[in-house]
Amino acid sequence: MKTQPRLMLMGVSAAMLCAFVCVMHEAQAAQPRAHSARLEENSSARSRLVVQINNVADENSSRRNRVELFVNGKKIEPSNMGARVRRDHVYEFTLPSGVHKIHAVYHAQSFWKEMEYKITTHDGSVRLYPDYTTFLSIALEKKSDGTLVRNKNLFTETPRLTNPPAATPEITQGQLSPAKIVEPARAISTQTLAGKEESEKLDSATEARPIMIAPIAPHVRASAQADEPKEELEPARNVVVPENSESAIPVVNLDRNAVPSEPVKTSVVAAGVASAPIVITQVESAARIAGKIALQINTTPANADVIVDDRFVGQSPLIAHVERDRSHVIQISKKGYAEKIKLLDRSELSNQQTYFLIEKLEKLEE
């Protein structure tokens, strides 16, 4: 008789525990659905997804290793197929904005059997937002026999605005930027092609107006020919140029406090513009841009088109400056060769001043 109340109490406790577990399970299951519903409110929006898996196979122990990517249960083929042994796999495609299931399976050949390893995110899904490109990247760590160090491997997820706001345009060689009247240096050459007398007449007839100065070019150097006659030095007057006139004044660096060891003559200027003597000081090599890193990109063969993120930067070989505190996508293409897409993780750029990227393009079979 005494055991019946105990059994009833234990039964009631077990029922309450089961009910609590069921409620918690339903609450947790409802959270992803609610988040997914918020992301999929705009069903017409599509987002770009780029997945890169590095160190998949090589010519040594992992030659036969391979990887398979699945999105929402569907197998996705790499975008850079065509190579006999592909070390890095890149997948690039668009999906509706929202939450999508994603994982990859890495197949490693170990002696007589095949081993499988899972690659996924922390919760097995990726969230795609409108106007954002999401990058998933991982560099596989392998043992000497080609198998992976860890059974479960996680992607690094980096969302990035697809069309970032336009930054302030940088002044490049050949562009002109407005500036105020430039005061002369303390010591300059008075020799001009128009002659001293013509220069004096032009100075008296021309009113002081703003001047357009071309930006400095790194290749310009102050040098004087050894066979040129020595020129007399004396203080110069203010340099004034009419506002709408075209000038062929060479691109130089003006330094009011510097006295050059050797004076330099000016070159030919357009008619009606004062051919003013200019002091040329030593021009330093291209200084390191704060917060940026130089990418030295070389390809074999050369003259391949290079796109960094969403901007075409030119043809290889070239140097491009990019932000070091964010990841970047490098896209290299050339007609008749397989296209290459490489994701540079920001961790690889943090401790370097110049990042060297050397790629050998593989010729497509006709």
Mean pLDDT of 163-177: 49
Phi, psi of 341 (to 5 degrees): -130, 125
Torsion of CA 232, 233, 237, 243, to 10 degrees: 80
Is residue 251 predicted with pLDDT exceeding 50?
no
Of 72-86, 214-228, 339-353, highest mean pLDDT: 339-353
Please give the mean pLDDT across all residues of the chain. 69
DSSP string spanning 207-272? ----EEEPPP-TT------TTSPP--EE--PPP---TT-----------TT---SS--------TT
* 3-state SS class at 291: coil
What is the CATH code for 292-360? Answer: 2.60.40
CB 325 within 8 A of CB 291: yes
- List, for residues 285-333, the tens digit of each pLDDT value: 343 456 788 888 999 899 899 999 888 888 899 888 888 888 888 989 8
Give pLDDT, residue 267. 42
- List, for residues 171-192, the tens digit of each pLDDT value: 444 444 444 444 444 434 434 4
* 3-state SS class at 12: helix
Q: Does domain 46-161 have CATH number 2.60.40?
A: yes
Sequence ranges of the chain with CATH classification 2.60.40: 46-161, 292-360
CB 121 within 8 A of CB 136: yes
Q: What percentage of the chain carries pLDDT values higher than 90?
A: 16
- CA separation, residue 196 to residues 189, 190, 225, 234 (Å): 11, 7, 22, 12
CB 252 within 8 A of CB 280: yes
* 3-state SS class at 147: coil
Give pLDDT, residue 210. 47
